[in-house]
Amino acid sequence: MQYYQPLLLTPGPTPVPNSIMSAIQLPMVGHRSKDFEDIADEAFKGLKPIFGTKNEVLILTSSGTSVLEASMLNIVNPDDHIVIIVSGAFGNRFKQIAETYYKNVHVYDVTWGEAVDVNDFIKFLKQLNHRVTAVFSQFCETSTGVLHPVHELGHALKNYDNSLYFVVDGVSCIGAVEVDLIKDKIDVLVSGSQKAIMLPPGVAFVAYSDRAKDRFAEVTTPRFYLDLNKYLSSQEQNSTPFTPNVALFRGVNAYVELVKHEGLNHVIKRHYSIRNALRTALKSLDLELLVKDDSYASPTVTSFVPKDKEELTYLKDQLKSRFNITIAGGQGHLKGHILRIGHMGKVSPFDILSVVSAIEILLTESRNKNYIGKGIAQFMEVIKHES
Ligand SMILES: *Cc1c(COP(=O)(O)O)cnc(C)c1O
């Protein structure tokens, strides 16, 4: 008998709270009805504090990648020069989207596992000798577990050239970090449903500055489903241009209620406490962290480096088969080198305590050294101070 409850600790999808599941399962309503307009109005408005914006948040029925693509197609004209910061697999995705549509794409590479060096990046912009229209970056690079200094980057970019558009992929951290479009100087901030927003996969979000909204209307790049102008004009009628995922719109409203109940500040604080405790615990189990600098470690996903490939496979497979815990492997060149524990959305410190204790048992067996209690004691010391 598998008596361990399943524990899904991948960096998306994440466990879905019961109140969200109940909302999603309510009887269907027509999407061209007053019923849906009320649901949509609540959802567009309810997301504003989560995205740190005074504008209503757009909701598309599609996965996170669709809004990465939309953020580009609605900001960048065919002949514009743009810069993509690539610090992992999702930076690469931005690059692939860019190269599908545009010819003037400049890539600024960051070592995977490190955060962008803001001063060095500005130097890079200066030596390009082209007027750059927009800069694209991840907020959290999910494939490594780095949280980039988006606030500093936004300010440095706008100091360098105030006409630049700053586009941020927040798919794996929005809902778990502090953000403010105006203070952080972000023009477009996108996210998806199945990460820190703890909904099932299926909808994606776009928050935008006033300037970005004007830009959407001017840009000539061809697009249809991803034309954000369509979503903006529908939004004025509390509607969507195409059939929306009605169930997940209700899910959004249930999510917003949960955040209101806990308090957004506490939600954020909880994620950081778990990050701090988990990093401390993994180090005490002689596991190397991929992100060395604590200040750039994401509050939503933590990557660590097992001793070798054999240990990596053993940990990942045994966590699943014996303890019913799912964690993620690496992506791109980090595949077979790192493991990633997602800790976003519906996670409590004690959920993460389970994975730490399971790892203790597995390492004790495989390394022939006693790790029992080592990680969890360190973990609880941190939680004790921060809870
Ligand atoms: C998951 C993720 C995406 C892609 O989202 P999909 O829903 O899989 O299309 C994009 N960017 C980041 C940072 C992500 O973590």
**Residue 79 and residue 199 share a domain:** yes
Mutual orientation of helices 228-235 and 210-218 as an angle, nearest 10°?
A: 120
Mutate to test the pocket of ligand 1, among 60, 65, 226 (most ligand atoms within 8 A of CB): 65
Express each pLDDT in 289-344 by its tens digit.
999 999 999 999 999 999 999 999 999 999 999 999 999 999 999 999 999 999 99
CA of 93 to the centre of ligand 1 (A): 9
Residue written as token pair 């990093």: 279
**Residue 331 and residue 248 share a domain:** no
289: β partners:
304
CA of 294 to the centre of ligand 1 (A): 23
Express each pLDDT in 343-386 by its tens digit.
999 999 999 999 999 999 999 999 999 999 999 999 999 999 87
Q: Write the CA distances from 301 to 54, 78, 141, 202, 295, integer angstroms.
A: 28, 35, 9, 21, 14
Express each pLDDT in 177-207 by its tens digit.
999 999 999 999 999 999 999 999 999 999 9
**Residue 292 and residue 319 share a domain:** yes
**Residue 229 and residue 350 share a domain:** no
Q: How many domains does the chain have?
A: 2
Please tell me the distance from the alpha carbon of residue 47 to that of residue 322, in angstroms, as a whole number.
39
Residue type, 17: P
Q: What is the CATH number of the domain that holds 166?
A: 3.40.640.10
Ligand 1 pocket, Cβ-based, cut-off 6 angstroms = 12, 63-65, 68, 90, 138, 142, 169, 171-172, 192, 195, 201
**Residue 288 and residue 253 share a domain:** no
CA of 2 to the centre of ligand 1 (A): 31
User: What is the bridge-based pairing of β-strands 339-342 and 328-329?
Assistant: antiparallel
**Residue 183 and residue 110 share a domain:** yes
**Residue 273 and residue 254 share a domain:** no
**Residue 240 and residue 277 share a domain:** no
Closest residue (by CA) to atom 5 of ligand 1?
64
Binding-site residue numbers for substrate are: 340
Percent of the chain residues past pLDDT 90, beyond the cut: 98
* pLDDT score, position 283: 98
Tell me the backbone φ, ψ of residue 227, rounded to 5 degrees. -75, 105
Domain boundary among 213, 236, 259: 259
Parent domain of 202: 16-259
Nearest Cα residue to 108 out of 132, 90, 123, 124: 124
* pLDDT score, position 2: 76
Domain boundary among 232, 259, 286: 259
Q: How many CA atoms lie within 13 A of 236 on its CB side?
A: 5
What mean pLDDT value characterizes the chain? 97
Mutate to test the pocket of ligand 1, among 171, 177, 203, 331 (most ligand atoms within 8 A of CB): 171
**Residue 163 and residue 28 share a domain:** yes
Express each pLDDT in 258-269 by its tens digit.
999 999 999 999
Under the banding of pLDDT at 50, 70 and 90, the label for residue 226 is very high
Residue 334, burial from CB neighbour count under 10 angstroms (0-12, 13-18, 19+): buried
pLDDT higher than threshold 70 for residue 240: yes
| Long-range contact pairs involving 221-228 (C-beta distance under 8 Å, separation at least 24) | 221/73, 221/74, 221/76, 221/77, 221/78, 221/101, 223/70, 223/73, 223/74, 225/62, 225/66, 226/60, 226/66, 226/69, 226/70, 226/73, 226/74, 227/73, 227/74, 228/58, 228/70, 228/74
Residue type, 357: S
Please tell me the distance from the alpha carbon of residue 358 to that of residue 368, in angstroms, as a whole number.
15
**Residue 213 and residue 74 share a domain:** yes
Q: What is the CATH number of the domain that holds 362?
A: 3.90.1150.10
**Residue 170 and residue 132 share a domain:** yes
Q: How many CA atoms lie within 13 A of 173 on its CB side?
A: 31
Domain boundary among 259, 274, 289: 259
Nearest ligand 1 atom to alpha carbon 138: 13
**Residue 250 and residue 172 share a domain:** yes
